[in-house]
Amino acid sequence: MKQCDLHTHTTASDGTFTPAQNIRRAVEKGLGAIAITDHDTVNGIHEAMLEAKKHEGFSCIPGIEISTLYKGQDIHVLGYFIDYEDEIFLNALSSLTSVRDKRNKMILENLNHLGIPVMESELEAKRHGKGNVGRGHIAEILMEKGIVNSLPEAFEKYLGKGKAAYASTERISPIEAIQLIKKAKGVPVLAHPGIYGVDELISILSENGLIGLEYNHPDHSRNQVAFYEELADEHSLIKTAGSDFHGFRNGEVFHGDLGSCSVPISTIDVLRSLSK
C-alpha cells in the first residue's frame, strides 16, 4: 500500500518549492498522496490540485497549518479537507496574516537591536506572490548574511522560543483554530506535539473537537513517536504523520524530506469521511 505525507509547505508560506514542485517530488518518491499545509494560507492549494490531476493515482489533500498560542507557547493546528474557497474562512485567514506580519516586524526590530540589520524590504523580497513570510525566511536571510551557518542554528540562537530575537504576539487559541477548521468543513489535527512541552493540551483539545494527532514527525524521538501513538489511542484520535517538508535552503532540508514520515494512504479515506 502506498504512503501519504500529511504535512508539507510550499512557496505560499515558508517552503522553497512551488506547490507543483512538491507534487512532482512526491510522485518521484513513490508517494500516493500529500497534503499541502501552508502556514495560515491556502494560496498554494489550487496550483497543487491542478498538478496532482496530471499524475494518475496520485491525490492532493487541501490543508492548512494554523498558528495559535497557548500559555505563551506557539501551537500549530493542522486542518485537512478544508473548503479552501469558503469566504468566511478566507477572511479569518487574512486576520491571521496580519498578526504574522506584526510578529515578523517585532523579530526584525529585535535583530536590529542586537546589531544585526535586517530590513523589512529584505523580508518582503522573500514573499512569493500573495504568500506568507515568516521565521523560515528570516533564518534564510541570516544565513545569506553569514550570521549563521544553518537553519537550526538560526532558531537555536535567535528565532526559537526564548532566544535573542524571539517575539510573540496575541493569537487565536488552539480551540479557536479547531472551531475555524471545522466551520470550513475540515478535520483538525494537532501538529508535532513533541515540540511544545505541553502534553496536557492534548486531553483538553480532544474534549474540544480535536480529531487527530501527528504522532510521527522528523523532530520526534523514537520514544516520543511511541508515546504519542499511545496517547492518540488513549484519546481515540486519528494517528497522522508528515515530514513538515519546507524544501531546501543552502542545500539542507529543514525538518524532513518528503515521505520521511508518512502514514498508509487509507488514512486519507478516514480523514475524508470526517470532513463535513
- pLDDT given for residue 20 in this prediction: 98
pLDDT reading at 151 higher than 90: no
Q: For residue 263, give its domain range.
A: 3-274
Helical packing angle, 135-144 and 87-113, nearest 10°: 40
pTM (two decimals):
0.88
pLDDT above 80: residue 276: no
pLDDT tens, residue by residue, 10-54: 999 989 999 999 999 999 999 999 999 999 999 999 999 999 999
Instruction: Mark 142-163 as b/e (b = at least 16 C-beta within 10 Å).
Output: bbeeebbebbeebbeebbeeee
Q: How far apart are CA 243 and CA 207, in angstroms?
A: 27
145, 151, 157, 163 alpha-carbon torsion, rounded to 10°: 120
Question: Mean pLDDT in the chain?
Answer: 94
Report how far residue 250's alpha carbon sits from residue 154's, in angstroms, rounded to the nearest whole number: 13
Pairing of strands 238-241, 248-249: unpaired
Query: What's the pLDDT score for residue 152?
Result: 86
**DSSP code string of 106-142:** HHHHHHHHTT----HHHHHTT--TT----HHHHHHHH
Give the total number of structural domains in the chain.
Answer: 1
Q: Quick check: 129 pLDDT over 90? A: no
Q: What is the pLDDT of residues 159-174, one digit of tens each?
A: 988 899 998 888 899 9
68-107 residue pLDDT tens: 999 988 999 999 999 999 999 999 998 888 888 899 999 9
Indicate the helix (H) or strand (E) that contains 202: helix 200-206
**Which residue from 49, 50, 47, 41 is spatially nearest to 14, judged by alpha carbons?**
41
Residue range 243-274, pLDDT digits in tens? 999 998 777 787 899 999 999 999 999 999 99
Cβ(72)–Cβ(168) under 8 Å?
A: yes
Q: What is the mean pLDDT of residues 176-184?
A: 97
205: domain CATH number is 3.20.20.140
